[in-house]
Amino acid sequence: MTNASMTKEEIIAAIHECAAQIGHVPSLPELTRLTKVRRRPIFTHFGTYTHALRACGLERKGPGYEVSPRELFLDWAAVTRSLGMVPSMGDYGLKGRYSVRPFFRRFRGWRHVAVSMLEYAKKEGLEGEWGDVLDITTHFLETGGKRHLTSGPVLTERPKIALDEPVYGEPLMHPVMSHAPTNEMGVLFLFATMAQELGFKVMRVQAAFPDCEAMRRVEPGRWQKSRIEFEKESRNFLAHMHPASLCDLIVCWTHNWKECPVEVLELSKLVKFS
């Protein structure tokens, strides 16, 4: 048996054994370092590491596990440096040592994290050791949330967005939808216009997870049921903490979750831009 084929029960047993060995609930990096458990079977069986811990009756929180601002910054900064850009919530969920919950408790939303980390670093005099991370963060904030560094000059003036007007995606050459989706509902609508040519017959759409149940043509004359979740970006599936074992297909506009254990249908690859 390889570690990729571990069952739920074997993963739960390994987590308990690791917790007993180190004297506290292990983080995901600790678990993968000290045991044969790897990330993929955890995400396959439980969706997230948090759900795996809950299945064990454990949770990494409480007085013994309060994460200090310095620990949060150092880990966030390390992820930022490794990526070369400010991490999204999904990025940090995949690469960070902690969950995103301590950030939400302290900063009341992921959108406040970057500016808070920058202010903390300057207050603590960490510019020398983490100067590259501060440059990345400063660029991110000055460009209104542009995550990738650019090699050319940075434009200091950008068109102002009217807050009381809607925002549209890139223009499409599509007979029904004129612009690219900017949210999950747009992805759902675009999929609906393409479902027949993609070989799907929708049976049910709902607000609960998963978003859709459909029959999918797998061979000429043969169909199978498929549980579908719609996301603007595939890694939002992880941020929403959905269990991967209860979903057969993620339909998204942008596929940006490399380690995704679920099949992904990326609609942006199937339409032409005008």
CA distance 274 to 258: 28
Which residue segment(s) compose the domain that 79 sits in? 67-142
Q: What is the pTM of this model?
A: 0.47
- Domain co-membership, 119 together with 49: no
Render 117-177 in DSSP notation, one character per residue: HHHHHHHTT-TTTTHHHHHHHHHHHHTTS--B--SSPPPS--PPP-TTS-----BEE-SS-
98 by DSSP, 3-state: which? coil
Domain match, 186 and 208 both = yes
Number of domains into which the chain is organized: 3
Q: Which two tokens stand for residue 209?
A: 């997870």
Residues 53 and 76 in one domain: no
pLDDT digits (tens, 9 = 90+) for 64-80: 445 678 888 998 999 99
Q: 111 by DSSP, 3-state: which? A: helix
Among 21, 39, 63, where does a domain finish?
A: 63
pLDDT digits (tens, 9 = 90+) for 234-266: 988 887 888 899 999 999 999 998 889 999 999
Is residue 164 in a domain? no
* Residue 145 structure tokens: 């949330």
Q: Is residue 166 situated within a structural domain?
A: no
Pair type for strands 263-266 and 249-254: parallel
Same-domain status, 71 and 129: yes
pLDDT band at 1 (very low <50, low <70, confident <90, very high): very low
pLDDT tens-digit series, residues 210-239:
999 999 999 989 999 999 999 999 988 887
Of 254, 252, 200, residue with least CA distance to 231: 252
Q: What pLDDT, on a 0 to 100 scale, did the predictor assign at position 159? A: 67
225 occurs within a structural domain: yes
Give the mean model confidence (pLDDT) for residues 23-32. Answer: 85
Residue that is last in its domain, among 11, 32, 63: 63
Pair (76, 133) in one structural domain: yes
Q: Are residues 128 and 220 in the same domain?
A: no
**Does 209 share its domain with 269?**
yes
Q: Is residue 113 part of a domain?
A: yes
How far is the CA of 163 from the CAs of 148, 160, 215, in angstroms?
24, 9, 40
Are 102 and 178 contained in the same domain? no
215 found inside a domain = yes
Contacts of 207 (CB under 8 A, 6+ apart): none
Between the alpha carbon of residue 1 and those of residues 34, 36, 44, 57, 227, the distances in Å are 18, 11, 17, 26, 29
Same domain, 74 and 59: no
Assess if residue 165 is contained within a domain: no
Residues with Cβ within 8 Å of 165's Cβ and at least 6 positions away in sequence, in order, are none
